[in-house]
Amino acid sequence: MPKEQPQSLESQLKMARPKRAEVKRVPLTPEEKEFLGKIMDKAVAAEKAGELQEALDLYTDYKNELLKIKERKEEEEKEWTEQDLIHWAIRNLGLSTQRAERYVEANFVLDELPIIQTKGNMTFNNMILEDLPNVLHVNGSFVSTNCTIKKMPNALYTNENCILRFVKINQLPKTMIIGGLLDMTKAEINNKKEPESLHVEEEVYVSESDPDMVKEIEKFKKQGDIKGDIKIT
């Protein structure tokens, strides 16, 4: 039987180039479009310059990054079930399946699913959390001190306070509706992108050492979205 010949670089490039339909199926933010556009520009330039292996690698990078964005968006839009909450508790709190089931039953209003709603306060101290539910309604206060939270929710609603003191987080939720005060004293926020919607019923505490965040909070105050005073700590 004749040996199968390896594909030429030209053939591999033809297959690797992203199809317009593939890209259109994924809704992209301006930041994501810019990020992917830079990879595409480098790939096209490398192909024009005859650097076919480099172009192939860049087209592959583009497709891989697009797939990551698509998978993340699908996860963000997914409606959580009780089983998803149990897996979340196992993943983040280090609980056995049985203990995670009891934790979820004790702390979440299960007959409100897929709305993720707590029965009371949600408190985490001196912990590393991989993530929080994408849309989180806290019937009480959300309290996190000296924690690392690798992925904050897209939306966070609290009936009372939101305490983010001495935390390290990826970025603030896109939507934050806080029924009490918001305390971000000494919070380290990797992505300084402001929330799309922020409403705080009482005062906001923000560190003097984070002038960009102070500026953003003052903007929301001017818009009337922060009812209390801004306290610089």
pLDDT digits (tens, 9 = 90+) for 32-68: 888 899 999 999 999 889 888 898 899 899 988 888 8
57 & 147 share domain: no
Confirm if 130 and 170 have CB atoms less than 8 A apart: no
Q: In the predicted model, is pLDDT for residue 187 greater than 60?
A: yes
219 & 133 share domain: yes
Q: Tens digit of pLDDT for each residue in 80-126? A: 899 999 999 999 999 999 999 999 999 999 998 888 999 999 999 99
Burial class (CB in 10 A: 0-12, 13-18, 19+), 15: exposed
46 & 143 share domain: no
Q: What is the pTM of this model?
A: 0.72
Q: Domain limits at 221?
A: 118-232
Percent over 90 (pLDDT), the chain: 56
Residue 155, beta-bridge partner list: 135, 175
Q: 26, 60, 77 — which closes off a domain?
A: 77
Spatial CB neighbours of 19, under 8 Å, sequence gap ≥ 6: none
**140 is a domain residue:** yes
**14 is a domain residue:** yes
Task: Report the number of distinct structural domains present in the chain.
Answer: 2
Of the listed ranges 131-140, 151-160, 169-178, 185-194, the one predicted with least confidence: 185-194
**83 is a domain residue:** no
**96 is a domain residue:** no
72 & 122 share domain: no
Residue of 228 and 16 predicted with greater confidence: 228
216 & 166 share domain: yes
